[in-house]
Structures are given as structure tokens and as C-alpha cells.
Chains A and B, each alone.
Chain A
Amino acid sequence: MRSTAWNDEENRVLPEMALDFMPEDKLRELQLQRLRATVKLAYEKVPLFRERMDEKGVKPDDIKTLADISKVPFSMKKDLRDTYPYGLFAVDLSEVVRLHASSGTTGKPIVVGYTKEDMEVWAQVVKRGLLACGFRSTDIVQNFYGYGLFTGGLGIHGGFEALGATVIPISGGNTERQVMLMKDFGVTAVGGTPSYFVRIIDVAEKMGVDIRSLNVKRGIFGAEPWSDGMRDYIEEKTGIKAYDIYGLSEIVGPGVGCECECRDGIHIFEDHFYPEIIDPETLEPLPDGEEGELVISTLSKKAMPILRYRTRDITAIEKTKCKCGRTIRRIRRIGRRSDDMIIMRGVNVFPSQIETALLRAEKALPHYQIVLDTKNNMDTLEVKVEVSRDMVSDSMGAMEQLNKKFKHSIEQILGISVIVTLCEPDSLPRSEGKAKRVVDNRKKM
């Protein structure tokens, strides 16, 4: 078997990877030069950024060092909504070759645009991430990220295509067919949301197909936070290696960062995206190693330069160097987004904690949903768990025991009392292959 270790000789000689290993001083120099150009572009072409900088009395020429980025005002999702659809574009629409939009459930979506050059950069960063995780041009890739307005499908597609792999643009849904093609096409690599892959694993099992016996070796997963427990579950069930790719549409889509074979954090493609960690309360920058909110500035985007975007993702920039030798810095895997955080009777709850609890209780990863409600003026947290075939027993006592086991495991992790409700398979909603984990019906005070 071919070695897939991080120090695989092949990994270092590929010219596309050179940027990941750039000498640090050269990298900082490049970043400063690109940051200055981006601030200038945003100031000159995007009214929102100009107004904000003028308010703070900052001019593009004030950016003399990378540390001066702290003078630049922040931007956030609301800014993209408020300027819908094209208000943050820095180029004429004639230069924009692609539009993507969020599947906002409420109100207007957010819209992002790309020039031809932006598209090339996007494909290149995804490709660099894939290479770092050991994907190669010889791979046959089943891409079940959703295709369409969502950046996931076409973003990952572009990266694999740039890599020269054989891409099957199957998108999400029709799970039995996914299993059939995985088998018949000799698929060696998969990409998509981890929650949908778990669904594929379930269906394959039902169909009597053992993914371990197929050719699939690796998967690239993203678009939602997923726990280490979920990764272990996927790898145990399928025998593949699962890698995390990070990104958000507002910045570029998937490919802002990606794991490497070491799987010890996510390398940010720092020559195109500048990461900072801030204290979400004081908004002050935090030193590397400290946990806070990730803020990203684009360094080469032309259609839509974004300055100091508050991602709502909670992480830290690693202080130490990765064993792979890449000089581009890493952030810790995102276990939680501040947007996903539920505050329940004063306690912070993240869906990933529920996931960990379910895995701990049953060594299985059932589909679940968190429902918040107010009953008799008390906020309640209910976890609905789909009962799969191997969880069913003919004994009522055993089913009630299962319920108790889940409840106990969740309560142990969260430290608050919860209600667990067992549900039929497929009874909980799924959207675009992206799990809808939280429903909040609480009465707002």
C-alpha cells in the first residue's frame, strides 16, 4: 500500500504546495502587500467600508504593518444583508463570473460574487487543501455537497477538478443511489457534509453494503461543525480517513482553510486569507494560542473584498508549528460557532456536546434534533433522537432504558436536565443535506 503519511516524499515536491511552505518572513511580506491593496480597493470601491473607515478616521495608507489591521473596522453578516444584493461588490458586474447565495431561512439571503481570478484562487486553495489531505489526481470523487447557490458543492467540485481528479457531481439526496454509485463507479474519495455521510452509512447498512469493502479511502467534510466523536464514528464504520475543510461563503466558501495529513488543526491559506482571533466582548485582538472569535480578511479577492469579517466561529490560532512543516498557521478545529450556541437556563449548550453524549451512550450516531420550548414559564430542552434498526428491542423496558441512557449521558455533559424523545427514522427534518439541529420555540421575554 502506498504511504499516506504527512512526510510522504510526494507531498513536498508538488509545486502547488510550495505556497504552504513559504518562508515565514516572505509570507508576512506578501500578506502586508496584499492587505494594503485590499484595504485600498475596499476603501475606494465599497461605500460601506469607506464610510466605516472614515468614521474611525482611518485611511488606507495608515496600514503600514500587519498589526495595523486592528485599526480597520469589522464587518459581519448583517452588512451583507443590508447591502443586498450587490452593495459590497468592488467591481462592475460585467467582471463577475459567478454568484452564490446563502439559503437564508429568514429574510433576504446573502449574495457573494467572484471574478474569473477569484474563481481561480478559490479552486487553488481547495486543491491545496485536498493535496494536504492526500487526495490525488487519480481519485474518483463522489461529491455529495449540495450543488447550486450554496458554495459547498461547486467549491469542492472546482478544487477536485483543478486537482485533476474524476468528479461525480451527484449533489445531496437520493441516498440509495449514492450507495449504488459509490459501489459501481469504484469511488475512492467522497466529499460533503458529515451529517449526510452518516445518513449514507445508515442506508448502505440497510442495503447490505459494507462501505469498508468498497474502494473509498478518504473523505473531505465541512459546512457544519462536527465533533471528533463523529469523525471516529465515520472512520470506524467505513474504514475511510475523514478530513475537515473549513470555509464560509462570505469569505470564499470551502477552502479558507483545511486540515493536513497530521489532522492537528486547520491550516489557513494565509496568502489569501488573514486570520485574527478577537475577544468577542471587548473586540480586542488576542495573541496566538488564546481562544476567541475568528476574524478573517480576504487578501486577494477582487469582486468582493471583505475586511475583518467576524465569523462567529470560536477557535484559537495554534502557537506551535505543525509537524507537516507548513508555515501557514493553523486554527483549532471548530467545535462550536457562537451562532449555534444555545443559552439554556444560563448554561451554554452546543449541539456538538449532544452529539458527543449520544455517541458515548450508544456508540452510534443517530440523527437528532434539539427543540427548545417554554412550558409553565420554564425553558425546556428536548432532544429528539431517531431510533435506528439496531436500537429497536421488543421490550418496552429496554426502549425506556435506551431513553434513560441517552438522557443520562446528555445531562452528564450539559449539567442541566433535558427531555429525550425517541422518534421514528426519517421523522426529523433535514435540509440540503445540512442537518437542522436546533429549533427554538421559546417565548422571548
Chain B
Amino acid sequence: MKIPQVSVFVSNRPGRLQAVCRSLADAGVNLLSLTLADSGEFGLIRLIVNNPEKAVDVLAKAGLSATITDVVACPVNAAIGGLAELLSTAVGSQQIDYMYAYPSTLNGSNIMILRFQDTDKAIEALKATNFKAIDKEELFKNT
């Protein structure tokens, strides 16, 4: 149920995003999603890739520090109020650190990536809803 997400620490300078993408591409790692969070001096690039361990090693060789954390992928109805509906369940009362939209759909549903403070508890909460967390194999099946 957990999706491994790679977070890369980068300095807030031009060319750094390119360095990350280039080294992953050269190693044949497939980028499925990329989002950026930044403060003034530095940023975190959060990636979902088909081979997270390899990604971390490749990035380390390129002189970049990265780490893997678990996130949860939730299907969201692609209609108005879809996200509101998800958050009105028990999931919405969990502590969410951040969330972002995954750039592809699954069986007609949109996908949201959520980082919960307590991932296990959140997955448990999801089980009681109609929003079954998407597992890794399913998310990566077309890559």
C-alpha cells in the first residue's frame, strides 16, 4: 500500500533540477512524477520513480543527497468535489504533511499522493472508506 518516494536535496541554483533529471535518465530510471518544494536557499525535489533504490544510488554518485520515504497514493473521483469527498472521510482527520496530484490516471480516477504523519494509521483509516490505497505494483504497472 505504501509508495516509496525519493526526496532529493538541492541548492536553489539554476541547473540543479536538470542535473537530477539527467543523471536519472542516463541510468535508465523512469520519472513518474516530480514536484518541487523550496525555501530561499534550498529545495526538495520529490520524485516517484520506477526504481527508487537505484535512483538514490545514482544520485549519490552524482553528488546529491537523497532519501526514501513512504507516501500513499489515493484514487480520487475525477468529478467536481472528488477531493472534498476523500477528505470528508476518516482520511481527512489524519495529519497530512503535504499532498500533490499524480500526473496520470488509473481506471478513470485521478490520483493524489499524500504524505501522512503516520502512514500506517492512514492506510488503516483508508480501509474503512471507498478509497482503497493504490499499491506500488498497480501504480508502476505501465512503466
Q: Does B80 count as interface, using CB distance less than 8 angstroms? A: no
- With most chain B CB atoms within 10 A of its CB, the pick from A389, A392, A399 is A392
Chain B residues lying within 8 Å of A427, measured Cβ to Cβ, are 11, 63
Chain B residues lying within 8 Å of A424, measured Cβ to Cβ, are 9-11, 16, 63-65
CA distance A394 to B70 in the complex (A): 10
Chain A residues lying within 8 Å of B60, measured Cβ to Cβ, are 206, 389
Minimum C-beta distance from B14 to chain A (A) = 14
Q: Does A55 count as interface, using CB distance less than 8 angstroms? A: no
Chain B residues lying within 8 Å of A397, measured Cβ to Cβ, are 97
Minimum C-beta distance from B116 to chain A (A) = 12
Main secondary structure of the interface of B (DSSP, over half): strand
CA distance A399 to B44 in the complex (A): 9
A396 touches B44 (CB 8 A): yes
User: Provided the pairs A206-B60, A422-B9 are in contact, do residues A389 and B66 lie with their beta carbons within 8 angstroms?
Assistant: yes
Q: Does B110 count as interface, using CB distance less than 8 angstroms? A: no
User: Provided the pairs A387-B9, A424-B10, A424-B64 are in contact, do residues A396 and B41 lie with their beta carbons within 8 angstroms?
Assistant: no
B7 touches A393 (CB 8 A): yes
Minimum C-beta distance from A418 to chain B (A) = 14
Interface size on B, residues (CB 8 A): 24
Q: Does A388 count as interface, using CB distance less than 8 angstroms? A: yes
B39 touches A394 (CB 8 A): no
Q: Does B79 count as interface, using CB distance less than 8 angstroms? A: no
B63 touches A425 (CB 8 A): yes
Chain A 194-209 per-residue mask, 1 if CB under 8 angstroms from chain B, else 0 = 0000000000001000
User: Provided the pairs A399-B9, A424-B9, A424-B11 are in contact, do residues A394 and B44 lie with their beta carbons within 8 angstroms?
Assistant: yes
Q: Does A421 count as interface, using CB distance less than 8 angstroms? A: yes
- With most chain B CB atoms within 10 A of its CB, the pick from A387, A394, A421 is A394
Minimum C-beta distance from B132 to chain A (A) = 24
Q: Does A93 count as interface, using CB distance less than 8 angstroms? A: no
Closest A residue by C-beta to B64: A424
Q: Does B42 count as interface, using CB distance less than 8 angstroms? A: yes
Minimum C-beta distance from A385 to chain B (A) = 11
A392 touches B9 (CB 8 A): yes
Minimum C-beta distance from B96 to chain A (A) = 12
Q: Which residues of B contact A (CB under 8 A)?
A: 5, 7-11, 16, 37, 39, 41-42, 44, 46, 56, 60, 63-67, 69, 97-98, 115
Q: Which residues of A contact B (CB under 8 A)?
A: 206, 387-397, 399-400, 421-427
The 3 A-B residue pairs whose C-beta atoms are closest, nearest first, are A394-B7, A394-B69, A392-B67
Known: A396-B37, A396-B39, A424-B64. 15 other contacts (CB 8 A): A206-B60, A387-B9, A387-B65, A389-B66, A391-B9, A392-B8, A396-B44, A396-B98, A397-B97, A399-B42, A399-B44, A400-B39, A422-B9, A424-B16, A425-B64
